[in-house]
């Protein structure tokens, strides 16, 4: 049967390869993500953004916490850190301060970043740490069985809310905006080109960058709510999302089946943590302040 499938109707030139493969630890593929899950799509966009931005891959580090999205650090063939639950941002902060040359990217899910690690997120955004946070938001705690997360919209059925969620949910872009992030954007897994461009932009931006990616979770979110599979969700994203760059983030909350406002909401210049630290030390210590020796002597 499969031999019949392998018969290719296209002529494939020798030496061609999937552009995402050089970025993956191929010994770990196939990955564990469900059929129709959007995390793999966001990884594709991230690798395209890294290719386009021509970043030095020896200076890119991925940090992730626990969860389905947390596994990205294990699959990416970059310097990567799979940290404790919710603590991806503290690890990333330490990494960045110890070696400011590094481009530190936090790649994690909504439960990890906003429930268990919510405090770390708001303080990293307040300090304007020069790290980039990519949050794949599937609106639930997927790996543990679909419990209500702080991002789960009202009226949704979840494992811990069989009669529907009644708690108000976090609006992640508004939270990031209010805490002072330098760059805030939201896309869905349907908007692959825009997402790749946005990731490229955030990699070049100094300061705290935040991208929220709304992604399907067919096994634990869509199935319980009779919303179909991954493809049905992608069609819903296509039909319900509206690009509104610079929209006031307070008006962009996510609902169960309503409009999804996507786009780049915030792009502002603020001095980052390291600049502020140096400025303050120069001011109070003057010549007595010695720049710390940072970086890795071998690279």
Partner 1 sequence: MSKGFVAINVERCKGCAFCVEFCPTHVLALSSAFNSKGYHPPHVVASDKCSGCDLCGMYCPDFAIYGARYAR
List contacts with partner 1 (CB under 8 A).
Answer: 1-2, 4-6, 8-13, 16-21, 24, 29-31, 33-41, 43-45, 48, 190, 192-193, 196, 229-231, 234-235
Q: Which is nearer to partner 1, 23 or 210 (CB)?
A: 23
- Residue 164, sorted as left (phi over 0), alpha (psi -120 to 50) or beta, turns out to be left
Q: Minimum Å distance from CB 217 to partner 1? A: 12
Q: Which is nearer to partner 1, 13 or 286 (CB)?
A: 13
Q: What is the DSSP letter of 38?
A: S
Of all helices (H) and strands (E), which one includes residue 133?
Answer: strand 132-137
Q: Minimum Å distance from CB 69 to partner 1? A: 12
Alpha helix locations (H) across the chain? 2-6, 39-53, 72-75, 88-98, 110, 118-127, 172-179, 192-204, 230-240, 273-285
Sorted by sequence, the CB contacts under 8 Å of residue 237 that are 6+ apart come out as 188, 189, 190, 191, 214, 260
Residues listed for the chain: 299
Handedness of CA 255, 259, 262, 268 (dihedral sign): negative
Q: Which is nearer to partner 1, 24 or 247 (CB)?
A: 24
Q: Minimum Å distance from CB 79 to partner 1? A: 20
Q: Which is nearer to partner 1, 193 or 204 (CB)?
A: 193
Q: Minimum Å distance from CB 48 to partner 1? A: 7
Q: Which is nearer to partner 1, 38 or 111 (CB)?
A: 38
Q: Minimum Å distance from CB 252 to partner 1? A: 24
| Separation CA 287–CA 271 (nearest Å) | 22
């Amino acid at each position: 049967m499969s031999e019949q499938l392998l018969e290719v109707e296209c002529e494939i030139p020798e030496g061609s390869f999937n552009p995402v493969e050089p970025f993956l630890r191929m010994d770990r593929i196939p990955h564990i993500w469900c059929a129709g899950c959007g995390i793999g799509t966001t990884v594709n966009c991230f690798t395209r953004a890294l290719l386009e931005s021509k970043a030095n891959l020896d200076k890119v580090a991925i940090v992730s916490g626990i969860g389905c999205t947390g596994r990205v650090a294990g699959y990416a063939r970059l310097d990567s850190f799979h940290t404790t639950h919710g603590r991806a941002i503290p690890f990333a902060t330490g990494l960045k301060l110890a070696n400011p040359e590094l481009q530190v990217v936090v790649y994690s899910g909504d439960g990890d970043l906003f429930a268990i690690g919510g405090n770390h997120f708001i303080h990293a955004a307040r300090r304007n740490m020069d790290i980039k946070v990519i949050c794949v938001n599937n609106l639930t705690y997927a790996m543990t069985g679909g419990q209500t997360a702080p991002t789960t919209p009202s009226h949704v059925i979840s494992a811990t809310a069989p009669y529907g969620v009644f708690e108000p949910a976090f609006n992640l872009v508004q939270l990031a905006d209010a805490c002072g992030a330098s760059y805030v954007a939201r896309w869905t897994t349907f908007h692959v080109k825009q997402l790749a461009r946005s990731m490229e932009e955030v990699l070049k931006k100094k300061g705290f960058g935040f991208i929220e990616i709304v992604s399907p979770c067919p096994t634990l979110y869509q199935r319980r709510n009779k919303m179909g599979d991954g493809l049905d969700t992608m069609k819903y994203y296509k039909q319900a999302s509206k690009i509104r760059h610079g929209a006031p983030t307070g008006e962009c909350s996510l609902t169960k089946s309503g409009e999804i406002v996507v786009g780049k909401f915030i792009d502002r210049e603020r001095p980052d943590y390291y600049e502020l630290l140096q400025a303050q030390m120069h001011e109070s210590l003057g010549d007595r302040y010695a720049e710390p020796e940072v970086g890795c002597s071998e690279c």
